[in-house]
Amino acid sequence: MAKMSDKVIAYRYHVLDTLAKGAFGTTYLAQDTYLSESSKCVIKQLKPDSNDPAFLKIARRLFEQEARILGSLGNHPRIPNLLSYFESDQDFFLVQEFIDGTSISKELSHDKRWPQSKVQAFLEECLKILQFVHGLGVIHRDIKPDNLIRRLPDQAVFLLDFGAVKEISRNQGKTQLVETTIAVGTPGYMPDEQIRGKPHFSSDIYALGAIGIYGLTGIRPITFERSLEDEIIWEDHAEVNPVLAEILSKMVQRDYRKRYQSAADVLADLAKLTLQSAPEIAGTDTQVQISQAKVAAPAISDPAVAVSVKNDSQGTKPELATIFQVQDSWPDPSAAALKKTDVQTAVQLEQETLRVPADGAEHQPRWRRTALRLLLPTTILLGAGAGVFFLLERPNELGRMTAELNQLYGQQKYSECINKGESALASLTSSRQQLLNPLSKCYLEQANQMAAQKKFGDAVQMVAKVSDQSTYHFQAQEKLSDWSTRLLQNARRDYEVNGNLKQAMASVEHIPQSSLIKPQATLEAKKWQDKHNANQKKIDTAKKALKEGRAEDAIATTKQIKAPEYWKKVADQVQKEAEVAIANRPAPQPEWQPPSQTAAAPTWSSTPDSPVYEPAPAYQQPAPAYQPPAYQQPAPAYQPPPPPQKEVVNVCPGPLCTQ
């Protein structure tokens, strides 16, 4: 049971439990609060080794590049989907689909050896996943039991934990997506070239082979015994078909050049093993039923050929009993004529069916080949008699239409290709598969053109038409996820920034139901609508309060609106208007206060039966009486001094005397 936590990541993901902690970061089990309570997801928090801005810039670019690759990988049904990725506080986060299941490591132990059939089925499941992964140019590099999980409802095997993004914190500024000088993996499951930091696609095949040997022997790969040539010695510890043993030994060759070079090569050899393991027609008492596909011709009701083969240990020719189930009437022979091309195709089909490996030809009894030759033409003739043998329905017309669609595709006339292809499919009752590929690639290219013109709504509707039976399905799903995400981002911007709820809702409506983004987009759209109505109501309330002169109430209401950006701007504008209204109010007049009295006579109640005594106020010292100043003698008036007298000098008698 998950351990509840108070931690919330990005205001959305409520952490339920910590699944793992390591040098690269932490992995959490979380609940997406934007979705239902059962919507669990796995969040991987990756911590860069440095806070240097230049390093973070490169790390961010590598993280986003790797997230896009993980998004592409998630298009495979056995790889968890990448739901989201984002950066917060200089940490990087990956949000992936939660797979409810048990780790393959819990199925492996020294006392729990797997039967050969389980090992073979396990290898086939995992190799098909690897074939897709390697097709995208991605090497997992950490395939081990802990990274393989068996889903509980259907026991399907999933491949988890693509560790390439873990190198973000180790590249130290390198621009390569895969840093080849660093060994990434788990001891025991890493071949020599991967330990040297030079992984190949066959490195993943080695790891898968090591798990297969672990299952058969119960011996952990880290403890495998090795020969002088450093090859794994394991066959003495397991009861295994020699062919499967040869396949596993080739998967774990020390020299990567001697290993299988692709998952498809391993699957091809496993398919041969399956054919050899199937019940043989001359083995035990066996009954082989070859049934005609359901046809519309009324002349034959479920035609079939049943062959009973009895075992003959002496090598004598077995007895064949042929039983036909037919109606009383046969179709018109003129309608059942086989064309030359039909016969050639039937002969080719017979030859392919009877082809056996050169090294095993001597083990194929003549009578067995005779039995097959007897059955196949009979079935073909029955189908031809009905006039609608399912492998050969209108071959000339289908071939012509396929060639025409391919020609239109080459001429980049995608609309015309789509119109003709859809019309042709509508007229066919079977053999539709031949037209799916040319039509699907026209859908895909037409959608690419729409997306290039930023018409993501039209693009997702077009790419959703690509058949899941065509070879373009995974590519179409990748585009569908990418463009649906772009539509959702545009819708968020229309609502949060522009306040255009109608346009945002229209963008969400364009996302097809087949898109993995659709549930999230629908839920977000519902929240946008609720938030829009709530914010609009608050703004209306604030404007009404402002109109009625209650500016303070208007401000208090607008402060309740925190998001999104558009509504925050509207609230800020109303708040500014309220603040202006408060600033423009006239200053309040002071209230009139009556003059205070210095003394008052006691007041007696006029009611005789309930006198109320009111004491006189406390005595206050009266102000002193005015005293005029005492008389003082005025100062005498100012008398200026007399002017100075000029002194006269008498020079007479003397030499100056003129007298």
Reported as half-sphere exposure (CB side, CA atoms, 13 A), residue 154 has a value of 6
- Amino acid in the structure at residue 606: S
Distance from first CA to last CA of the chain, Å, rounded?
A: 152
| Spacing of C-alpha 153 from chain mean position | 22
Query: 308 - beta bridge partners?
Result: 287, 321
What's the CA gap between 395 and 342, in Å, rounded? 8
Block residue for tokens 């009437």: 329
Candidate list 91, 111, 142, 161, residue with the active-site label? 142
Is 142 annotated in the active site? yes
DSSP letter at 1?
-
What's the CA gap between 432 and 438, in Å, rounded? 11
Nearest to 93 by CA among 38, 11, 175: 11
What's the CA gap between 340 and 342, in Å, rounded? 5
Helical ranges in 186-257 per DSSP H: 192-195, 201-217, 242-251
Nearest to 349 by CA among 318, 306, 395, 307: 395
Question: What's the angle, vertex CA 500, arms to CA 495 and CA 501, rounded to 5?
Answer: 70
What's the CA gap between 395 and 402, in Å, rounded? 10
What's the CA gap between 214 and 263, in Å, rounded? 19
- Using N-to-C axis directions, what is the helix angle for 340-354 and 395-410, rounded to 10°? 90
Give kind and range of the element (H or E) at residue 232.
strand 232-233
DSSP letter at 255?
S
What sign has the CA pseudo-torsion 636, 637, 638, 639? negative
Block residue for tokens 């609309």: 415
Block residue for tokens 């810039």: 57
What's the CA gap between 220 and 214, in Å, rounded? 6
Assigned token pair, 644: 């100075």
Give the CA distances from residue 1 to residues 27, 29, 115, 194, in Å, rounded to whole numbers and listed in that order. Answer: 17, 11, 32, 37
- Catalytic site positions: 142
